[in-house]
A and B are shown apart, each in its own frame.
Chain A
Amino acid sequence: MNEQNTAPILEVRELSIQFGGLRAVDGLNMRVKKGQLYGLIGPNGAGKTTVFNMLTGVYKPTSGGIFLDGVSITGKSPVEINKSGIARTFQNIRLFKAMSVLDNVKVGMQNQTKYTTIEGILRLPRYFKEEKQMTEKAIELLKVFELDGEQAALAANLPYGKQRKLEIARALATNPKLLLLDEPAAGMNPNETAELMETIRFVREKFDMTILLIEHDMKLVVGICEELTVLNFGQELAQGETSAVLNDPKVITAYLGD
């Protein structure tokens, strides 16, 4: 989109991780520019979620570096990485199931509040002020995902599609620079997927967000991703603009076999 802004928001250099004898990700390089919708695709077992887990600090990379806005976040803890501006969703949905939809989003917001535990217990003015602000912002965010009608429902009781949306809402609540979506369309029917594509585009425009996503649904990938990296057996197979990458014979072979 923004051609002159070439400084990447996320840069991954020679990223590798080894589990025992298995090199799950091997020397990955990737540059995601600000405001981009970037896709990470590849066959099952290619190491895509492992890349996400390294980007968010769940796994520590064996070697290589991760830079957010030029600052290294390599090897930092998930909490620190979230604070520095990366938020994510999970392939197998991980909501706070026994909490309300509204509280799920408010948990995401609490790093932006200042009141202390003591102030909370004593119910000092700052508690009321910040709780009110948080609730208002959270409802606004839920409206974007058309979840405001269900704010009191338990997250576990939402239908599948709405759970995926709530996870995105919760991630956005942390006010990130970069949003990682791990198979957001998994388990959705074509209608829901089409709707999700609209939502992702909308999120990008409204929050001026950079989005990196893993997806198997090619319709979604073609529909919204501007650039792609294809992983196969932990290694980069192809990289570049979506249409070019998808016509690359190497990629077609990896997906369809010889």
Chain B
Amino acid sequence: MRKQTKNNLITFIGTAVVFFGLAALSQAGQLNNKINGMLVLIGIYVILAVSLNLTVGVLGELSLGHAGFWCIGAYVSGTVSLILQNSPNVAVPDWLRFTAALIAGGIAAAVFGVLIGIPVLRLRGDYLAIVTLGFGEIMKSLANNIYLVMDNNGLHFGFTQAPELAENSEGAKELLRGPIGMSAPQDTNIWIVTVVLLICLAVLMMFIDSKSGRACMAVRDNYIAAQSVGINVTKFRLMAFTISAAIAGIAGGLYSHSISLLAAKTFDYNKSILILVFVVLGGLGSLRGSIIATIILYALPELFREVGQYRMLIYAIVLIGMMIFNNAPFFIQLRERIGASAPVQRIKGMFKRDKKTAGGAE
């Protein structure tokens, strides 16, 4: 068996065992409330991290706007669910409604991925980073100002203020309430999250281990050389960016169906940065690393909530320390001298920013 196939299988089976195991323990009542409450969120963050790894690790573009796609997915799928649920003439079973909502969330995020990707992927490096950050903040602001009311006359849409209803309005239901947010049906549970996570993981693995994934990595490593062997750089950048967005959108769907009140302010740039930290510490391009890093980094501070106020302080210090220890030229040389390996995969040279390339050109 090829090494990459084997690696992928180990990651996939390991993830399945861990998450199905936790789900079974949770169902059997073997976990305390705190862990139970965390499981769904950990699963969602794992999906977000592996999908962001496609953009940052495989495609090599720094995105600080992943929460924006998460937000779109959450709002669109939550809204689809609420509309289907509240429409008197539509009778769909819950599982079908939820599936449709998740798919709608993924598609909506993908559409925005294409729309924002076409102009923005021409930019590189830090410019791309700030623009994606701005995109995420725009999505948050827009979501924060949308009002949607449903009554016997149909849907009424309001922007920055609630829509005015006609006089004969009956049975008005506020689906989206601006900054207050929305309450989608609570369909998500750890089993569903696990299944969706495994599907997303499989899609990402298959994509990366195919000619399209190789093309993305080639663009990442050297886009001029990639063009010289006939790789359409724009096409593959857009493709990876869109797949990454779509999966984040699906994670959004899971999220909006998991909490009782969803407010747009959840999706600020700090969330994008949080996910980025998971990806970077787990190792760029390594899906397994993203999964492990997310579980550890998300669960640890939550579990140590009793230790209380110092946990985030310690987290910050550990983050800085790990970055320096793993990436500082001094420590790398030291490790090479004593023959030790880095505790966490270090960031490879794919994020070099220097303008000059070795050797002159004529």
Contact = CB atoms under 8 A, between A and B. Distances in A.
Interface of A: 44-50, 56, 58, 77-79, 82-83, 87-88, 90-92, 94-99, 103, 106-108, 110-111, 113, 115, 117, 120-123, 127, 131, 134, 152, 156, 170-171, 173-174, 186
Contact of A91 (B210, B230, B359): B359
Interface in B319-362: 348-350, 357-359, 361-362
Q: Which of B3, B226, B285 has the most CB of A within 10 A?
A: B226
A78 B285 CA distance: 27
B273 interface: no
Given A82-B227, A110-B215, A92 B357 contact: yes
Nearest to B358: A92
5 contacts: A94-B228, A106-B211, A115-B211, A121-B207, A170-B225
Interface string B202-230: 01001100111111011011101111111
A91 B207 contact: no
A95 B221 contact: yes
A103 B214 contact: yes
B362 A44 contact: yes
B350 A98 contact: yes
Contact of A99 (B206, B207, B210, B218): B218
A107 B218 CA distance: 7
Given A91-B361, A107-B231, A96 B217 contact: yes
Given A82-B227, A94-B224, A45 B362 contact: yes
Given A49-B362, A98-B350, A107-B214, A123 B229 contact: no
A121 B233 CA distance: 20
B232 interface: yes
A123 B206 contact: yes
B4 to A, nearest CB: 9
Interface of B: 3, 203, 206-207, 210-215, 217-218, 220-222, 224-233, 239, 285, 348-350, 357-359, 361-362
Nearest to A24: B362
A98 B357 contact: no
A134 B148 CA distance: 53
B279 to A, nearest CB: 16
B361 A56 contact: no
A107 B231 CA distance: 8
B348 A98 contact: yes
A44 B362 CA distance: 7
B227 A79 contact: yes
A87 B227 CA distance: 10
Candidate in A45, A103, A156, A171 with the most chain B CB atoms within 10 angstroms: A103
A134 B357 CA distance: 31
A96 B215 CA distance: 10
A99 B211 contact: no
A106 B129 CA distance: 31
A110 B211 contact: yes
A249 B85 CA distance: 89
A47 B213 CA distance: 36
Task: State the 7 A-B residue pairs at the shortest beta-carbon distance, nearest first.
Answer: A120-B210, A92-B359, A94-B225, A82-B230, A96-B221, A78-B227, A49-B362
B342 to A, nearest CB: 16
A107 B221 CA distance: 12
A113 B214 CA distance: 13
Contacts of B224: 58, 78, 90, 94
A106 B215 CA distance: 10
B232 A79 contact: yes
Contact of A95 (B225, B285, B348, B357): B225
A99 B221 contact: yes
A98 B231 contact: no
Contact of A173 (B214, B220, B229, B359): B229
A82 B359 contact: no
Contacts of A95: 221-222, 225
A135 to B, nearest CB: 9
B8 to A, nearest CB: 12
B229 A170 contact: yes
Contact of A96 (B203, B218, B348, B359): B218
B359 A152 contact: no
Contact of B229 (A47, A107, A115, A186): A107
Given A82-B229, A171-B229, 7 more contacts: A47-B362, A78-B227, A78-B228, A107-B231, A115-B211, A121-B207, A156-B349
Contacts of B350: 98
